[in-house]
Amino acid sequence: MTSKSKVLVSAPLAADLLARIETEYDVIQLPSANVLTAGTAGEYAEVVGWLTTVKQPVNAGILAELPAVRTVSNYAVGYDNIDVPAATGRGVRICNTPGVLDDAVAALTVGAILNAVRGLSRAERFVRSGQWAAGSPFPLTSDVHGKTIGILGLGRIGKRVAPVMAALGMRVIYHNRRPIEGEVPAGAEYVGRAELLAGADVVLLMVPLSPATEGFIGAADFAAMKDTAYFVNPARGALVDEPALVEALRSGSIAGAALDVMAVEPLPADSPLLELDNVTLLPHIGSATVETRRAMAELAVDNLLDSLAGRDPKGAVNELPAGASL
């Protein structure tokens, strides 16, 4: 009897999805909270595939301890946890789950924008604290209609957010490395980065994280924004100089913010962000719906099985060198 090759799964999968993998491979399950390092990954040196999450770094040191691995399937659209050049150099296919979470993240983003501008979380706390019953008036907030939203990084998710905000009466401007060719949703206007920061009433950050974009928004950028502007980040915490954001919120350099991501997650109990009333803090829930997480898991499994079988996975991130063997 021929023994099956081994696959490591360190992401939460439903029983039926695990069973799909188990029909072809011996599955080694590892809780996603157990993060492997260079020094501990060698225990799994025989695995040919790995389905994991963004919590798990996949760097050159770890890959060196996994000489048999041919595919790493990330249960996420982001893959900033993976050293893609190192993987490519070793002939390892990297996959992610694009597309299936776009609508969920877009909906969360719209909610975060409205929460920031209209003060919904603050209003809910106002009611629960008894201030409304005591006769205190809730402070007036701002309209979104008639205002401008500036999207830094108009990609798949931004293109879903733009028409919704336009339907609510907002002018949409955007900045990418280069203007989008062809039709742009909601008639979004391309502007320079400086013009966007200076002119937007809501600055929405939708840039992917990479070594080139770490710290993409800093003190000078917050200083360039209107003091009535709101900053919204559902992308990645490391894109932002967090101390500079805290200072901008404390000083009133900007009016407020809404964050679904932070530099350190979970947010530490001593984070100065927790002391501020003009920031909405969410626990990285952009894709956290039953339906979306199921679709992500299905695609992650498809990517793993297709790649190991020599088929082109839908979520391939990297092109392997000519002659690389899967």
Q: Is residue 116 part of a domain?
A: yes
Q: Is residue 313 part of a domain?
A: no
Q: Is residue 321 part of a domain?
A: no
Same-domain status, 96 and 111 = no
| Cα 263-264-265 angle, rounded to 5 deg | 120
Same-domain status, 68 and 130 = no
Same-domain status, 195 and 58 = no
Same-domain status, 39 and 118 = no
Q: Is residue 209 part of a domain?
A: yes
Same-domain status, 60 and 191 = no
Model pLDDT, residue 41: 96
Same-domain status, 10 and 107 = no
Distance CA 229, CA 294 (A): 36
DSSP state of 82: B
Residue 221 has which token pair? 């950028």
In tens, the pLDDT along 235-263 reads: 999 999 999 999 999 999 999 999 999 99
Same-domain status, 74 and 154 = no
Domain termination site, one of 281, 300, 321:
281
pLDDT higher than threshold 80 for residue 323: no
- Please, what sign has the CA dihedral across residues 21, 22, 23, 26? positive
Same-domain status, 270 and 221 = yes
Query: At 50, phi and psi to the nearest 5?
Result: -145, 120
Model pLDDT, residue 322: 62
Domain total for the chain?
2
Q: Is residue 322 part of a domain?
A: no
Same-domain status, 160 and 40 = no
- Average confidence (pLDDT) over 273-297: 97
Q: Is residue 324 part of a domain?
A: no
In tens, the pLDDT along 138-195 reads: 999 999 999 999 999 999 999 999 999 999 999 999 999 999 999 999 999 999 999 9
In DSSP notation, 32-74 reads TTS---TTTGGGGTTEEEEEE-TTS-B-HHHHHT-TT--EEEE
Same-domain status, 205 and 262 = yes
Hey, how many other C-beta atoms are within 10 angstroms of the C-beta on 101?
23
Q: Is residue 317 part of a domain?
A: no
Q: Is residue 315 part of a domain?
A: no
Model pLDDT, residue 303: 98
Q: Where are the beta strands (DSSP E) in 176-315?
A: 189-190, 202-205, 230-233, 256-259, 279-281
Q: How would you class 277 by CB atoms within 10 Å of its CB: exposed for 0-12, middle for 13-18, buried for 19 or more?
A: exposed
* % of the chain with per-residue pLDDT over 90: 95
Residues designated as active site: 236, 265, 284
pLDDT band of residue 24 (cuts 50, 70, 90) is very high
Across the beta sheet with 279-281, the strand order is: 189-190, 171-175, 148-152, 202-205, 230-233, 256-259, 279-281
Same-domain status, 18 and 131 = no
In tens, the pLDDT along 34-72 reads: 999 999 999 999 999 999 999 999 999 999 999 999 999
Same-domain status, 73 and 170 = no
pTM exceeds cut of 0.75? yes
Domain range enclosing 220:
102-281
Taking a C-beta distance cutoff of 8 angstroms, is the pair 58, 87 a contact? yes
Query: 191 versus 323: which is more confidently predicted?
Result: 191
At 273, which CATH number?
3.40.50.720
CA distances from 270 to 191, 266, 275 (A): 38, 11, 9
Beta bridge partners of 82: 58
